[in-house]
Amino acid sequence: MPRLSCWFIRAALLYLAVGITFGALLLFHKGIPFEPFVWRLLPVHVEFLLFGWTVQLAMGVAFWIFPRFWRSRGNERPARLAFGLLNIGVWLAGVGPLLGAPPVIIFLGRLAEAGAAAAFALHAWSRVKPPGAEPPKIPQNP
Ligand code: HEM
């Protein structure tokens, strides 16, 4: 598995563990209310599990298994940018509300997540190809 996929998938697993723990706390609190603060974990729970786990896992596996050009995965820089932007976005949009951040911070988080999707699409586009298709004329990894 390529190193970048290891990063994507290990990060996704960490978000899954924390996201489900917060989900379990939320569920427990619904049954036996013990600490009102728990409800403030809901945005983090949602962000960690929808973007941190689900989207990031999909990107990590796609980067690994999408068709290659012989041994090359094409221009990997947009995929690396997607990794950075996605994780910045999850923290700004997910943890921001928990820390009382102003709405502009959550908006920047969403912008970063959208940027991650666009950057990953830029990387993956040419790899969505039939077997034997010619690689695009773009600079390979520096
Ligand atoms: C990948 C898995 C999961 C995803 C994507 C997810 C996503 C969500 C979303 C989007 C909401 C907000 C729903 C709404 O506003 O109506 C939510 C709420 C909640 N989730 Fe999860 N969740 C996941 C797994 C879990 C697990 C495993 C648990 C418990 C162990 C859990 C416990 C809760 C609770 C208690 C709420 C609050 C429900 C309420 O508003 O009354 N979630 N989750």
pLDDT along the chain (142 residues), means of 10: 98 98 97 94 96 98 93 94 98 94 96 98 93 61 48
- Looking at ligand 1, which atom is closest to the CA of residue 30? 35
pTM comes to: 0.88
Test site for ligand 1: of 15, 29, 42, 56, most ligand atoms within 8 A of the Cβ = 42
pLDDT at residue 135, as a whole number:
61
Q: Which residues line ligand 1 (CB under 6 A)?
A: 20, 23-24, 26-27, 30, 42, 45-46, 49-50, 53
Neighbours of 66 (CB within 10 A): 15
Tell me the sheet residues that pair with 72. Answer: 69
Q: What is the pLDDT of residue 24?
A: 97
3-state secondary structure the chain: CCHHHHHHHHHHHHHHHHHHHHHHHHHHHHHCCCCHHHHHHHHHHHHHHHHHHHHHHHHHHHHHHCCCECCECCCCHHHHHHHHHHHHHHHHHHHHHHCCCCHHHHHHHHHHHHHHHHHHHHHHHHHCCCCCCCCCCCCCCC
CA distance 91 to 51: 10
Q: Tell me, in angstroms, the distance from the centre of ligand 1 to residue 23's CA.
A: 6
- The Cα diameter of the chain in Å comes to 60
pLDDT at 137: 58
Say how far apart CA 66 and CA 61 lie, in whole Å: 8
pLDDT score for 112: 98
- Please tell me the predicted confidence (pLDDT) of residue 139: 52
